[in-house]
Amino acid sequence: METPNIVPFDAGRHGNAFCDLNMSWLEDFGCSDEDINVLKYPVEQIIEKGGAILAAELDGTPVGVVALKPLNDDLELTKMAVQESARGNGIGTKLMNAAIQKALEMNAGRMVLFTDPLKLRPAFLLYRRFGFTETPFYKSRDCRCSTAMEKYLKTDFITKERNVWIEEYGAAPELLKNLLSTIKTEELHYRPDEKSWSVHQQIAHLADSEANNYVRLRRFVAEPGKHVFDWDQDVWTDKILGDYRPWEEAIELFSHLRIANYRLLTALEPDQFSNTIIHEINGELTLTEWLLYYKNHTHYHSIQRNRSQFQNRKNR
């Protein structure tokens, strides 16, 4: 298949596609009056308000679109869609790369988006692959969505900002223990579908992840510039769960490791957050980039969703 060409939005060439491609998924997800207004008047509602729209073309025909819309001090990634017959050919990946590059050109410090990991799972996994992480979210923002995600683009962070993120990182054990204080055994093992992890599996994964990060964080500090290996989280979760690994033990292990990492982070000098490691898959990462990703790595929202779905299924 021909490689898609990513071009700036042209109302004459891309206006109908921007509307039709997005309506194809919004009709099932839920289309608001605001959506309709944006789709009918993208120039006025997005571009003239300081945003941007990109289109993916094959042989001159638009087959994908994505928009960047100013939201307070951030840029919201929104109205991303790929023609159904063209999916599976890397068009979404090309659009994401182009959108991130465009956001950098627009001097954005952070990109945000709103989605639903179950109803819009392929999109959610694409966002995760590009480094977007889940953040606290209030349903009043968009009642159809269950998840907010963010990706920081700037690197010149001030100490005050970094200290806030360190505190968020360190708050995870207490947050999770409160969430799990009333969990029942049947909730622990419930899986919404065959591709999703149970709460028990997610807790086991958090312990494994923090164990890996215990070493990685110290590599940042003691041996900056050195290589670190990737690990297959699905294989680890599948092969190392077992009855010998009670969820209470896994959450305690996660908590002890997270607290140890938190204490080390609070002791570092500002210039040490520029230290790097070389990840065998993701390449060079700074300690700041690592912190921005893992401060939100608690599976808090995912565990909430599992429990909510279990209760909904039980009440049918």
- The residue with tokens 């300081």 is 50
SS3 for 232? coil
Count of the separate structural domains present in the chain: 2
Read off the pLDDT of residues 10-63 as tens digits, 9 standing for 90 and up: 999 999 999 999 998 888 787 888 888 999 999 999 999 999 999 999 888 999
Provide the domain limits for residue 44.
5-152
Answer whether 0.85 is exceeded by the pTM.
no
Q: What percentage of the chain has pLDDT greater than the value 90? A: 49
Domain match, 201 and 297 both: yes
Domain match, 193 and 286 both: yes
pLDDT of residue 143: 58
Cβ neighbours of 182 (radius 10 Å): 8
Backbone torsions φ then ψ of 306, nearest 5 degrees: -60, -45
Domain match, 191 and 142 both: no
Domain match, 177 and 308 both: yes
How far is residue 216's CA from residue 234's CA, in Å, rounded to a whole number? 19
CATH of the domain at 133: 3.40.630.30
Domain match, 118 and 176 both: no
Token pair, residue 75, equals: 């840029």
How far is residue 259's CA from residue 41's CA, in Å, rounded to a whole number? 50
